Structure 1
Amino acid sequence: MAITHPYFTSIDILPANEYFKESGSSGQDSLYRLCKAYSIYDQEIGYCQGLTFMTAALLLHMPEEQAFCLLVKIMNKYGVRNLFRSDLRSYNIKFYQLERIMKDFIPDLHQHFVASGIEAHMYASQWFLTLFSAKFPLHVVFYILDLFLLQGMETIFQVAIALLLLSRKELLLLDFEG
């Protein structure tokens, strides 16, 4: 009988990666223990789904104890913890900053988004909450995490702007639904 952890299923977490694929696997057990440990360590934040993606990426590179220490460092030293606070102040500030950067560096796309009623939280929330670890190929995630550990939150803005610039032409052709 397979054990399914209450926080996640193998379908949700890096389904293409063998380490996490099977329910009850050592990868899923490690992921569960690490997320549980963090939720106990930081009771104000507790368990948040975005942490699972970051944690999974860390577990692919290091043992649980080291991954826990690095997760704590990412959350505290780099300010990611503030994004998960219930007041959402830091979270909203990041979206405001992203929109201002867009206005300065990609003004036509910024104006298109404003005219279409598209706000940064609609497309970038997962980028900030998971440090791009939820939907990108692992080799890209590892590269972004390396840069993040060197430069901090600035990396998330840089990657976000790069993605928007790369997709600019296509995005300008789309409406709100697109």
Structure 2
Amino acid sequence: MKLKFRREHSRSKDLEEKTSISPLYIHHSPQCLCNHGNLFLRTFENFLKEKTKHGECINSLKWKQFHSMPANGDALYKVINQIQLEGPNFNHSRQQIDLDVQRTFPDVDYFSHGIGRPVLRRVLLAFAKYNPNLGYVQGMNFIVAVLLWHTSEVQAFWFFVALIEQYKLVDNFSQDLPGLEKHCRVIEHLLKESMPSLYEHLSENGVSMHMIISDWCFVLFMNLIPIEQTGWILNKFFKYGWSFIYKLILEILARLKAKIMDCRNIMEILSAIKPYQSTQEGRKKFIKALENGWERLDWHKLARRAQSRFIDENYVKHI
């Protein structure tokens, strides 16, 4: 079932066309219901006050503990949007953005029919101007869309800048993909150490870490998680960085180990690990495939259990 965005937002196509050429403003507000769990602890009125006051969910307030936007972030963002940039690199970014915003969470109304789409486009174009050497790279759209789901437009932009610069996502999106190479090497060593039989089985069947974790690392699982549950994963990533992603990958592979060990060729293995498309229904099926017995699993529980896994941080740094 498609997620419904708030009634006050218009679905008008004229709005999207207007936004694509005008520098700000169409009002965007977080679409998440992350604060809903606290309604038993405060009145609904106080909940609305908090949501209005901060312009973001309680999860994104946690992210500020590890990164906050510049003191003049609003003004800087406006200036960046007003920059008129031309050239082959930026034109390529703009063309790719126009294609990808239409493919971002197509089963979520706010991005498929609402003002989320033009706001997402504006933030991505702003980043392409902010970092013209890197520009826009496919995959960024899912991360920015999730940030917009939880926070204001300006803060979504600066949180994304922090992820690129402070959390080294730039290495994932740079030419030759040095970040992806590093993450594959780390997971390979950790898997070989913690689950040697699984590592051997994958190796014997020609399954590389690139085949398994590339898209997970590119978008921090954001295209695989139901958008309502993305805050839980970002909470852990903002707090623990890449070590959490490594633990999450190991937790997923550990839960799929029995199924993978029964597979006899590369196609069966990849189907066991990645059998579902990135649709709302597919995301639900993926998390269900990770359940053990009568367990009822969601990404919140999975994130907690992944973080409880032990990995030697010094060993990871050495790798």
TM-score by length of 1: 0.91
Shift of 1:74: 0.8
- The AA in structure 2 aligned to 1:18 is D
TM-score by length of 2: 0.52
Residue 109 of structure 2 corresponds to residue 18 of structure 1: yes
CA distance in structure 1 between the aligned counterparts of 2:179 and 2:169, rounded to whole angstroms: 9
* Structure 2 residue aligned with 1:177: 267
* Structure 2 residue aligned with 1:77: 166
Residue 224 of structure 2 corresponds to residue 132 of structure 1: no
Give SS of 2:151's match: coil
- The AA in structure 2 aligned to 1:17 is V
* Structure 2 residue aligned with 1:8: 100
Shift of 1:88: 2.0
- The AA in structure 2 aligned to 1:20 is F
Give SS of 2:267's match: coil
Shift of 1:40: 1.3
After TM superposition, what 4+ stretches of structure 1 lie above 4 angstroms from structure 2? 1-5
* 5+ long unaligned stretches in structure 1: none
Range with bigger deviation, 39-48 or 49-58: 39-48
CA distance in structure 2 between the aligned counterparts of 1:120 and 1:7, rounded to whole angstroms: 29
CA distance in structure 2 between the aligned counterparts of 1:43 and 1:126, rounded to whole angstroms: 23
1:1-178 paired onto structure 2 within 5 Å: 2=13, 6-10=98-102, 12-22=103-113, 25-174=114-263, 175-178=265-268
- The AA in structure 1 aligned to 2:112 is K
- The AA in structure 2 aligned to 1:121 is H
1:7–1:32: 8 Å Cα contact kept in structure 2? no
CA distance in structure 1 between the aligned counterparts of 2:200 and 2:147, rounded to whole angstroms: 37
Give SS of 2:98's match: coil
CA distance in structure 2 between the aligned counterparts of 1:147 and 1:139, rounded to whole angstroms: 15
Deviations 1:91-120 (A, max 9, x none): 211101111111011111111110011111
CA distance in structure 1 between the aligned counterparts of 2:105 and 2:244, rounded to whole angstroms: 22
Shift of 1:90: 2.5
1:59–1:67: 8 Å Cα contact kept in structure 2? yes
Shift of 1:36: 0.9
* 5+ long unaligned stretches in structure 2: 1-11, 21-96, 269-319
